[in-house]
Structure 1
Amino acid sequence: MKRRGFAALVLAMATLGACAQQPADDAPDAAPKYPPQGRFLTVNGHRVHYVEKGSGPALVLIHGASGSLRDWTFGAVDRLARRYRVIAFDRPGLGYTPRIDRDGASIFEQADLFVAAAAQLDAPRPIVLGHSYGGAVALAWAVEHPDAVSGLVLVSAASQTWDTGLPLFYRVTSGPLGALANPAIAALAGQDRVQQAIASVFAPQPVPPGYAAHIGAELALRPDSLRENALQRAALKSGIARMVPRYPTMDVPVELLHGDADSTVGLQIHSVPTARQIPGANLVVLPGVGHAAQHVAAAQMDAAIDRVARRAGLR
């Protein structure tokens, strides 16, 4: 799985000295510009930031790496709230949900946290939708807590192991050098580079108007978030390896959507074999669509959610 998010581009920029020198402690505070959009609940002593809207069958949305629930509030929450009770969580260490521990939250720890959070919100068996890394968390939810999920929607989801090693960026930001490198990366990040990186995630489609201003990329560039994101990414492949043998035992409706132009999480590496391994899974291939299928193929995603709801007897 390749990760071509803005953070990797920022590291390359900093390494090559492509921007002016600036002290690390001059990094801007993202909180005043991008405050929490939702509410907080406490789950086993851990705060969780979430947005909730709408009524109907419960639908949990889980965002990907280097992101936050703002990816969902750009349009999906309001749109889906017309037919579903939508709950979007910030994953641990990202957005406004604090990290679980200093070693990085595994996909299983994140699933445990969200299962308990959903139950506390009186949504004990929601439909769970995950994008990219969030798809792996959704799968962990289903394999570890099969009685706490009604169905899955996996969008551009990381679901299989891959051959390449951990990219340099994540080795640096998750390792001992991160204490020095992460504040410098946060301070040196320029808006032009951030915009270019967002564009690379959407490619070959254009970035929707207003998305870059809404998403709050600075939240993911906070030093602690850079480290937590890197630690989670470093542990992802081993977590997926634990799940793959359990896919044939899954007994919930599963819909997969994946663009065949996705160069971040490859269709053939991930969703094609996963769709074969999960009984009854349905894969929709999106011709010419890149990694941001949750935005550029919103109608197809909404239709997949409706199919899961019908298959689960919720509609």
Structure 2
Amino acid sequence: MAVLVLSACAAGAGRSSDIAERFAPDGAFLTVQDVALHYHVTGPEGAPAVLALHGASANLHELRSALEGPLAHYRVIWLDRPGLGWSERPSGAWSPQREAALIAAFLDAMETGPVTVIGHSWGGAITLRLMMDHPDKTAGAVLIAPALRAHVGEAAFYNRATLWPVVGPVITHAVVPLSGPGQLESGAASAFHPEPLPDNYVERVRLALILRPGPWRANAEDMARVNDHLAAQEERYGEITQPVILIAGPQDSVVSTRRHAHPVAETLPAGELRELDAAGHNPHHGEAGAAAVVEALETVRARLTAPDARNH
């Protein structure tokens, strides 16, 4: 048995190496608090600054592949969230609070001034944590299909098992790299439902990066404790006075719009929900959804300069 496990781990290491070579980092790295964070910047210098935070199991290319063109007139920072894509994550128990603090330090190092944030799915929860804990770093937000409230159900078994001793390393280093590639397209398709999976989506967004041991474990750490993380912050959303527009679809099968976006939009003092009837969990990849994100971003920025918003 031990020989079989070692053999599988060796094969998994080879597959992980292939993925890393195929989707090598092509952005810049900035070391913040001894943590290397990977990012891209697009758009003209001097344009309004936007920070894009992707969701679980993803990397910066998930948002960038859909929105770089529509947001070409903004200065957008596409960040691999800590632990995912090619960004590192420090050791120790991780939480949205720690992640927001690291991102705030990253923005300081980038000298961006306050940014408007686009957060997708779990990136929406990180966005609101950033706005609550570091309001001076943010200037409003657009949340796409955000996951924001606790009691979303039990974490998937594979996320919990990834953190177990003995079993976890085998899952991370052998099972996931070897069996994961065959599951990527079907998993992505279920997230897009009822919308169709875009052509070449898995390749374009470099989804296979999640199958590498580091990102897989980091994502499992987030998702295994998702209810605890959200319970620790959802009662504070009323503190956020900056404008926030939530974009979601009633048919989202990954994150319930009724459970998450509806009540949080009502809780946020300057919140607004814009529903897209035909959208699933990734509306920004469709023409109408991308246009809705741009329109929401422009609305948020306009509200920030309105007379009744200047004291927020």
TM-score (norm 1): 0.88
Q: Where does residue 292 of structure 2 map in the other structure?
A: 300
1:280 aligns with 2:253: no
- Offset, 1:169: 1.7
Partner of 2:244: 254
Q: 1:59 aligns with which of 39, 43, 50?
A: 50
**In the alignment, which residue of structure 2 is the partner of 1:35?**
24
> Within 1, Cα distance between the matches of 2:177 and 2:52?
31
Compared CA separation, residues 243 and 191, structure 1 to 2 (3 A): closer
In structure 2, what is the Cα distance between the partners aligned to 1:210 and 1:301? 22
Aligned CA RMSD, in angstroms, stands at: 1.6
The residue identity in structure 2 corresponding to 1:250 is I
Residue of 31, 40, 63 corresponding to 1:72:
63
For 1:217 and 1:85, how far apart are their aligned partners in 2? 24
- Per the TM alignment, residue 77 of structure 1 is displaced from its structure 2 partner at its CA by 2.2
Shift of 1:102: 4.5
1:191 CA drift (Å)? 4.2
Q: 2:57 is aligned with what amino acid?
A: S
Residue range with higher mean Cα deviation, 265-274 or 234-243: 234-243
What is the CA deviation profile of residues 94-129 of structure 1, one whole-angstrom value per residue up to 9, with x for unaligned ones?
A: 1110122143x3111111111111121121200011
Partner of 1:152: 141
How far apart in 2 are the matches of 1:183 and 1:42? 26
Alignment-derived partner of residue 140 in structure 1 = 129
> Where does structure 2 lack aligned partners over 5 or more consecutive residues?
1-6, 307-312
Counterpart secondary structure, 1:256: strand
> Aligned ranges for residues 1-315 of structure 1 at < 5 Å?
23-27=8-12, 28=15, 29=17, 30-55=19-44, 56-80=47-71, 82-103=72-93, 105-162=94-151, 164-176=153-165, 177-189=167-179, 191-296=181-286, 297-313=289-305
Contact residue 185 and residue 221 of structure 1 kept, 8 A:
no
Contact 2:43–2:74 (Cα < 8 Å) also in 1? yes
Q: Report the more deviating stretch, 275-284 or 239-248.
A: 239-248
Distance, in Å, in 1 between the alignment partners of 2:111 and 2:264 is: 30
* Conserved 8 A contact 2:155-2:225: no
Ranges in structure 1 where 5+ consecutive residues have no aligned partner: 1-21
If the length of structure 2 is used for normalisation, what is the TM-score? 0.89
Residue 140 of structure 1 deviates from its aligned partner by: 0.4
Between the two structures, name the one with larger relative contact order (CA 8 Å, sep ≥ 6): 1
* Greater CA drift, 289-298 or 266-275: 289-298
More helix by share: 2
Q: Whole-Å Cα distance in 1 between the matches of residues 25 and 298 of structure 2?
A: 29
CA distance 1:102–1:175, shift in 2 (3 Å)? farther
1:83 Cα shift? 1.8
Task: Indicate if the aligned counterparts of 2:53 and 2:60 stay in contact, CA closer than 8 A.
Answer: yes
SS of residue paired to 1:262: coil
Task: State the distance in 2 between where 1:239 and 1:96 align.
Answer: 23
SS in 1 for 2:149: coil
The SS at the match of 2:128 is: helix
